[in-house]
Structure 1
Amino acid sequence: METKSKVLIVGATGHLGKRLVRASLDQGHETYVLQRPEIGVDIEKVQRLLSFKKLGAHLVTGSFNDHKSLVEAVKKVDVVISIVSGELHPTSHKLLLQLKLVEAIKEAGNVKRFLPSEFGTDPSRMADAMEPGRVTFDDKMVVRKAIEDAGIPFTYVSANCFAGIFVGGLCQIGSILPSRDSVVLFGDGNQKSIFVDEDDVAAYTIKTIDDPRTLNKTLYIRPPANILSQREVMGLWEKLIGKELQKSSLSEQEFLDSLKDKEFVLKAVMTHFYHFFFEGCLENFEIGDDAEEACNLYPDVKYTTVEDYLKQYL
């Protein structure tokens, strides 16, 4: 019988973290969740942690401010998955908290795979990204360097656009529900992006942890049916609701001009949209020998198509 890895998930109460916990348990892994004292009186997070316990996960106390506690938590498992939020703030670099996790993994010496908090655009391809959004990519690359310098076995996961954020809002900035009236196209709306249901991201991610084919590689999640343009996503929604949306278009220059007076967080988000929907950065390259494609490796995962994802909003 195949031996399953023991998994520690750091950041389990978040949007993707809770899905990783469920996927790990569903795939038969003994699953540990880091319970950080910093959670304070956040009742929603506490209740989520308790729900993981009911599902069979183990809660283990540890803090980024207590190196010894992190080492002890890491020693309980074979695999560590971090899903620390990359909070967009001019002075906050929460992703760099993972450097403390790298030090704990290095000292523990027992971890056979570390998956750092990436799960979006491959940061190694974003060296020319615009400020201020590029801070996310830069911080992820700092963490990558620390992992590789420490000789820690890794898998990086590039999951592209989360469906809940991009499909739900028809790729509109500041919206996560599909309009039944009007939409704004970025340019001609024909640049391809890649959209992935967050539950599918979790399922593919957990598949990698005992797979030698993904060791020290990047896993790209690129469901073929979900490589679509903004215009195509809107077209699927129009077909479902039986109505054509009123469309306007924002040119590249108009979009760039609109960035000038935006506050930091919104400006950072908009620069990401620029790279996705004007430059097509998610789909305009071939993956190399140091990477694998999730749908090819794991055809047994029946991913959710964009069209099926949109049906829940009817």
Structure 2
Amino acid sequence: MGKSRILVVGGTGYMGRRIVKGSLAEGHPTYILRRPEIGMDIEKLQVLLEFKRQGAVLVEGSFPDHQSLVEALKQVDVVVCTMSGVHFRTHNLLMQLKLVDAIKEAGNIKRFLPSEFGMDPAQMMHALEPGRVTFDEKMTVRKAIEAANIPRTYISANCFGGYFVGNLSQMGTLLPPKDKVLIYGDGNAKAVFMGEDDIATYTIKSVDDPRTLNKTVYIRPPGNILSQRELVQIWENLSGNTLEKTSISGQDFLALMKDADFAGQVGLGHFYHIFYDGCLTSFEIGEDGEEASRLYLEVQYKRMDEYLKLYL
């Protein structure tokens, strides 16, 4: 049996371009939705042309043009959507409902992986406002997928290394602190940190796997389950620099939301759930889920000491 033809929606984005690379590396016929809305964005166009040079097929389609989406979908077997949800007030994630409608009409898609990749929204119904909007929108998309009986796999990849590891989980920067580090509570809540390329590898491996059909794949390898204090210790060992540590209580952390803008409030809420509630590791994976590193033992995922070496 040949490998599925994969269409990546959002293939020029932060995760999208990694999904495209992962798909090509695994030998899948790889298609990328080229949206006319790219306009004059020369950097995105150059990314697309480079993927075309590497063997990807560019397929034109537009969310406002339902029939163009249907025609694009008829050329593939699997759809992986990586549209960003960071522009919270534009409701990008809900644009996937147009994909759901097109998949229903096309009738040939054997697996849909919607844009998730972070915390499992099904575990976040208690999330604080306004950050809950991300999870609510993902659940709206899930419900539409399931109501349409579309075969699916949800990917929960937890904390992206680029946003949570290089900065030792400090907000407002992407680089390691030089002198001082803020510790959330006692710093011992366990989180899950992942390299983005590994997330893409696990995602692509799941698309043709019957074990992941209609399930959530949690990318939660044991070697990358760490507390913030453990992450800081890894950096101190690598850099030879001991950082001054200041703790902030949960109450004081939430008080920061008062003066933050909308996006800042969303980020603060998510950080609170990760580093105070321990929401990424506070539940067991049930029968409707699988853990990626157990399924794909051949993947040598990057530990965070290796990830942090890039920042030395």
TM-score using structure 1 length = 0.98
Q: Which residue of 1 aligns with 2:79?
A: 80
Whether 1:67 and 2:37 are equivalent positions in the alignment is no
* Corresponding residue to 1:281 among 259, 279, 282: 279
Conserved? CA contact 1:7–1:30, under 8 Å? yes
Q: Which residue of 2 aligns with 1:267?
A: 265
Q: Which residue of 1 aligns with 2:52?
A: 53
Q: CA deviation at 1:88?
A: 3.5
Q: CA deviation at 1:161?
A: 0.2
User: What is the CA–CA distance in structure 1 between the aligned matches of 2:38 and 2:176, rounded to whole Å?
Assistant: 33
Q: CA deviation at 1:87?
A: 2.9
Which moves more between the two structures, 74-83 or 257-266?
257-266
Conserved? CA contact 1:161–1:196, under 8 Å? yes
Q: Which amino acid aligns with 1:48?
A: V
Q: Which residue of 1 aligns with 2:246?
A: 248
Q: Which residue of 2 aligns with 1:7?
A: 6
Which moves more between the two structures, 198-207 or 242-251?
242-251
* Corresponding residue to 2:108 among 107, 110, 121: 110
User: What is the CA–CA distance in structure 1 between the aligned matches of 2:221 and 2:181, rounded to whole Å?
Assistant: 25
- Secondary structure of 2:90's counterpart equals coil
User: What is the CA–CA distance in structure 1 between the aligned matches of 2:130 and 2:138, rounded to whole Å?
Assistant: 14
User: What is the CA–CA distance in structure 1 between the aligned matches of 2:84 and 2:234, rounded to whole Å?
Assistant: 31
Q: Which residue of 2 aligns with 1:258?
A: 256
Q: Please identify runs of 4+ aligned residues in structure 1 that moved more than 2 A.
A: none
Whether 1:202 and 2:203 are equivalent positions in the alignment is no
Q: Which residue of 2 aligns with 1:171?
A: 169
Task: Output one character per residue of 1:122-151: Cα deviation in whole Å (capped at 9) or x when no partner.
Answer: 000100100111100000000000000000
* Corresponding residue to 1:121 among 119, 137, 140: 119
- Secondary structure of 2:259's counterpart equals coil
Whether 1:303 and 2:301 are equivalent positions in the alignment is yes
User: What is the CA–CA distance in structure 2 between the aligned matches of 1:3 and 1:22, rounded to whole Å?
Assistant: 19
Q: Which residue of 1 aligns with 2:42?
A: 43
- Secondary structure of 1:286's counterpart equals coil
Q: Which residue of 2 aligns with 1:20?
A: 19
Conserved? CA contact 2:131–2:269, under 8 Å? yes
Task: Output one character per residue of 1:221-278: Cα deviation in whole Å (capped at 9) or x when no partner.
Answer: 0121110000000000000011210111111111111111111001101100000000
Q: Tell me how many residue pairs correspond in the alignment.
A: 312
Conserved? CA contact 1:88–1:136, under 8 Å? no
User: What is the CA–CA distance in structure 2 between the aligned matches of 1:274 and 1:40, rounded to whole Å?
Assistant: 38
- Secondary structure of 2:97's counterpart equals helix
Which moves more between the two structures, 176-185 or 190-199?
176-185
Unmatched tracts of structure 2, length 5 or more = none
User: What is the CA–CA distance in structure 1 between the aligned matches of 2:73 and 2:244, rounded to whole Å?
Assistant: 53
Task: Output one character per residue of 1:83-131: Cα deviation in whole Å (capped at 9) or x when no partner.
Answer: 0111343x42110000000000000000000000000000001001001
Q: Which amino acid aligns with 1:106?
A: K
- Secondary structure of 1:260's counterpart equals helix
Unmatched tracts of structure 1, length 5 or more = none
Q: Which residue of 2 aligns with 1:98?
A: 96
* Corresponding residue to 1:217 among 211, 215, 218: 215
Q: Which residue of 1 aligns with 2:231?
A: 233
Q: Which amino acid aligns with 1:56?
A: G
User: What is the CA–CA distance in structure 1 between the aligned matches of 2:170 and 2:177, rounded to whole Å?
Assistant: 9
- Please show how residues 135-174 of structure 1 align to structure 2 within 5 Å: 135-174=133-172
User: What is the CA–CA distance in structure 2 between the aligned matches of 1:278 and 1:310, rounded to whole Å?
Assistant: 23
Which moves more between the two structures, 179-188 or 67-76?
179-188
Q: Which amino acid aligns with 2:130?
A: P
Q: Which residue of 2 aligns with 1:32?
A: 31
Conserved? CA contact 1:87–1:93, under 8 Å? no
Q: Which amino acid aligns with 2:184?
A: F
Q: CA deviation at 1:54?
A: 0.8
User: What is the CA–CA distance in structure 2 between the aligned matches of 1:301 and 1:99, rounded to whole Å?
Assistant: 33
RMSD: 0.7
TM-score using structure 2 length = 0.99
Identity of aligned residues (%): 61
Conserved? CA contact 2:202–2:292, under 8 Å? yes
Task: Output one character per residue of 1:179-238: Cα deviation in whole Å (capped at 9) or x when no partner.
Answer: 221100001111000001000000000000110000000000012111000000000000
User: What is the CA–CA distance in structure 1 between the aligned matches of 2:87 and 2:271, rounded to whole Å?
Assistant: 14
Conserved? CA contact 1:276–1:282, under 8 Å? yes
